[in-house]
Amino acid sequence: MYAVSGNDEVVDLDGPDAPKLLTPVLVNRADWTDAPLVPDGWMIANAPRPLMGEIRWEGKFRRGIFYAANPTEVTGTFGWAADDAGRVVFITDAEIRERVDVKLAEYGYASLEEAGLTVEEVAETMQLPWCGTPASA
């Protein structure tokens, strides 16, 4: 399998030199309040152990409490994948609500009311970080 990297380079995902892909750690933008300012375009990782990176901090437990940001993924013996890190991927309540609606439709429900559920309940079962922000509730 092949993928296109951020700099439009084709990467062989099955070859011997294939990069270890970091598991996504979904973080709701509304809940991203304790992090330092990270430049746009930088990668952010979260892990159960301290990470290498130009910016490092401790924060809310997701995959762990240790975070690092760097212009590119830190690789190699002491890289993020070796430290069991996940890549932080941001999501909003509005995007979560869309995913919840799709999931309900898969089960034949037209609305949350018809299913007798709340967005929070369905999001929890889908392991999505719902915050319940007023603008997207």
Tens digits of pLDDT across the chain (137 residues): 444 444 455 555 555 555 567 899 999 999 998 899 999 999 999 999 999 999 999 999 999 999 999 999 999 888 999 999 999 999 999 999 999 999 999 999 999 999 999 999 999 999 999 999 765 44
Q: Cβ neighbours of residue 44 under 8 Å, at least 6 residues apart?
A: 35, 38, 67, 68, 69, 87, 88
Residue 82 and residue 99 share a domain: no
Residue ending a domain, choose from 72, 89, 106? 89
128 and 107 in a common domain: yes
- Please indicate, yes or no, if residue 9 is contained in any of the structural domains: no
User: CB neighbours (10 Å) of residue 41?
Assistant: 8
The answer to whether residues 130 and 81 belong to one domain is no
Q: Is the dihedral of CA 107, 123, 62, 87 positive or negative?
A: positive
Is residue 1 a part of any domain in this protein?
no
Please report whether residue 12 resides in a domain.
Answer: no
Does residue 48 fall inside a structural domain? Answer: yes
Please give the tally of structural domains in the chain. 2
Alpha helix (H) residue ranges in 16-132:
93-106, 112-115, 119-125
Backbone phi, then psi, for 61, in 5-degree steps?
A: -70, 125
pTM: 0.77
80 lies in the same domain as 131? no
Residue 25: other Cβ atoms inside 10 A: 19
Q: Find the domain containing 121 and state its range.
A: 93-136
- Both 70 and 97 in a single domain? no
